[in-house]
Amino acid sequence: MNATPHDIAPDPVQSAPTGRTACVIGAGFGGLALAIRLQSAGVATTVIESRDKPGGRAYVFEREGFTFDAGPTVITDPDCLRELWALSGHDMAADVDLMKVMPFYRLTWPDGTQFDYSNDEEQLFDEIARINPTDVAGYQRFLKYSAEVYEEGYVKLGHVPFLDFKSMLKAAPALARKQAWRSVYSMVSHFIEDEKLREAFSFHTLLVGGSPMKTSAIYALIHKLEKDGGVWWARGGTNQLIAGMARHFERLGGTVRLGDPVVQVHTLGTVATEVETKSGFRQRFDAVASNADIMHSYKDLLSGNGRGASYAKKLARKKFSPSLFVVHFGLEGSFPHIPHHMILFGPRYKGLVDDIYKHGVLPADFSVYLHHPSVTDPSVAPEGKSTFYALVPVAHAGKLAVDWEETGPLLEKRVLDEVGRRLDIPDIHERIVTKFHYSPRDFSQDLNAHLGSAFSLEPLLTQSAWFRGHNRDDVIGNFFLVGAGTHPGAGIPGVVGSAKATAGLMIEDLVGATHA
């Protein structure tokens, strides 16, 4: 179906139409952010989405009055989102109601230790001191380091495209000074002694698909990002942030085409010419950007051009992030003592991570990220009931080849048993109103995710910046990438940053440098 743009006159701040056209394949966070930037610059933009509603990985399920966000569920750096509205003189608050989440996360361990993680400095110092008083000073040194890599890795480089190796060499000295070759866990351990606190300040890489033991220490910037910008929730769910972005894009005159997968990006030599969908829709565009899975973009969508096959072969040799197993469930009753976000650490940390990233086995133990949005926003559950999801990282299909039809229900029960045991809900199964799980197979089928990866390319130093998919293709000059597979990587700030980098290139090509 073809969505009809809202009948709203363009704001005077919005750029006048340029006569140039662009297509964005995929209506995830990255695709919508790019589309808003292009439309705001006067480029007539069409977003084509294969599913029945926008969102991509931020899809939404509605079951028996419960709202279940597929993810992501943690909103950080809200200013990078507000900027998308400000480009045309609008205010994001008119479309999206952001709510503060405190604490950011409650972390718990099997021995009963609990740690509330937030940006309330005095409270955070108290939490650290309760576990290990000598680590308060170490944390302060870590915070200083986090601020330094935030400045280098996010402020200076997070929205800059790396199109050639020279740009990488230019950035290398600053990254070397920050010991970017070390892992986040190694760097945290340099400052912090207690093992539980090391876990508390290094787990964030798992939320963008990276192992704390392998992901570059540059990713310690996430701590600074959260400290300065806070952690937020969109009233009604992350899906309402997506809906607000789509509504704003249409307000600007953009077109959204839903439920019609792109099957081919047609090319003539080194130029992308037309986009064709499953329904037979076929249209010429001046530029094409893909927010689809990076392997799918090259192997399938560019299969008619030799570039597609050659780069897909190169991508196949790279390391992809793990997948996820997510149990969505609605419970009878309210649980005000269970915060919005929790990490239920298991008995192992490094060993568990190695099982997922290295060995590709389904461990007997696991750590759980528990999401309980109805404690912040009761609108996502029927009255007197609660919405949850429990997420465990699992190896991708290239390492873990299991039949998820058979394994899924067994793992679902184990996850629910663990949540019930750890949070003292002994009758958790009796309280369930509705439930379903989402497995690596679903990531592959619904999102064309290579190997069922939930975060695209693994965020290793050797797969970052220039070593990642380029924001503009090296051969097909008017074919662009946006989203987790390109610079800077996964997570809402990451893919919104990729949209800024890619939009700068596209607008300069289509409109001119003065409009970029």
Q: pLDDT at residue 202 above 90?
A: yes
Tell me, yes or no, whether 220 and 280 share the same domain: no
Instruction: Indicate the residue among 392, 426, 447 that finishes a domain.
Output: 447
Tens digit of pLDDT for each residue in 139-170?
999 999 999 988 887 877 678 787 766 766 67
- Contact present, 491 and 207 (Cβ < 8 Å): yes
pLDDT score for 185: 97
**pLDDT tens profile 355-365:** 999 999 999 99
**Is 287 contained in some domain?**
yes
Q: Which residue has 């070390």 as its token pair?
A: 182
Shared-domain flag, residues 289 and 402: no
pLDDT above 80: residue 12: no
Asked if pLDDT for residue 11 goes beyond 70, the answer is: no
CA 214 from centre of chain: 19
Give ∠ CA 118-120-121 in degrees, rounded to 5. 110
Instruction: State yes or no: pLDDT of 373 exceeds 70.
Output: yes
Q: What is the DSSP letter of 183?
A: B
Strand residue runs (E) in 398-468: 432-438
CB-based burial label for 398 (10 Å; 0-12, 13-18, 19+): middle
Distance (Å, rounded) from C-alpha 487 to C-alpha 128? 34
pLDDT (mean) for 172-176: 72
Arithmetic mean of pLDDT over the chain:
93
Same domain, 386 and 239: no
In a domain, 117, yes or no: no
CA angle 150/453/402 to nearest 5° reads: 145
Model confidence band, residue 18 (pLDDT cutoffs 50, 70, 90): confident
pLDDT bucket at 9, cuts 50 / 70 / 90: very low
Give the domain-ending residue among 403, 422, 447: 447
pLDDT at residue number 180:
83
Q: Is residue 411 part of a domain?
A: yes
Kindly report which listed range (160-169, 182-191, 204-213, 390-399) carries the lowest average pLDDT score: 160-169
Residue among 322, 330, 310 at smallest CA distance from 363: 322
What is this structure's pTM?
0.94
- The token pair at 24 is 């964005």
Q: Is residue 125 part of a domain?
A: no
Same domain (yes/no): 217, 280:
no
| Own/partner pairs, 141-148, CB within 8 angstroms, 24+ separation | 141/191, 142/187, 142/188, 142/191, 142/192, 142/201, 142/220, 142/223, 143/223, 143/224, 143/227, 145/178, 145/187, 145/191, 145/220, 146/220, 146/221, 146/223, 146/224, 146/227, 147/224, 148/178
Q: What is the pLDDT of residue 165?
A: 64
For the residues 336-341, what does the mean pLDDT come to? 97
Flag whether 6 is in a domain: no
61-104 pLDDT per residue, tens: 999 999 999 989 999 999 999 999 999 999 999 999 999 999 99
Q: Tell me, yes or no, whether 246 lies in a domain.
A: yes
For tokens 């400290």, the residue is: 227
Range of the domain at 415: 323-447
- Asked if the structure places residue 2 within a domain, the reply is no
pLDDT tens digits for range 246-280? 999 999 999 999 999 999 999 999 999 999 999 99
Per-residue pLDDT reduced to its tens digit, 432-460: 999 999 999 999 999 999 999 999 999 99
Q: Does residue 408 have a pLDDT over 90?
A: yes
- CATH number for position 465: 3.50.50.60
Same domain, 166 and 274: no
Domain end position, chosen among 230, 249, 268: 230
408 lies in a domain? yes
Burial class of residue 155 in the structure, from the number of CB atoms within 10 Å of its CB (0-12 exposed, 13-18 middle, 19+ buried): exposed
Are 426 and 438 found together in one domain? Answer: yes
Number of Cβ within a 10 Å radius of residue 333: 11
- 447 Cβ neighbours under 8 A, 6+ residues apart: 56, 57, 293
Averaged pLDDT, 321-335: 98
pLDDT surpasses 90 at 47 = yes
How confident is the model at residue 13, as a pLDDT? 58
Cα 505 from chain centroid?
A: 22
Pairing of strands 255-257, 98-100: unpaired
Same structural domain, 264 and 206: no
Look at the chain and report how many structural domains it folds into: 3
389 and 369 in a single domain? The answer is: yes
Q: What is the mean pLDDT of residues 6-35?
A: 79
Predicted local distance difference test score (pLDDT) of residue 10: 40
CA dist 370 and 121 (Å) reads 24
Note whether 434 and 463 are same-domain residues.
no
- Are 337 and 440 within one domain? yes
Judge if 260 and 361 occupy the same domain.
Answer: no
* CA R_g for the chain: 22
Q: What percent of the chain has pLDDT above 90?
A: 86
**In a shared domain, residues 329 and 352:** yes
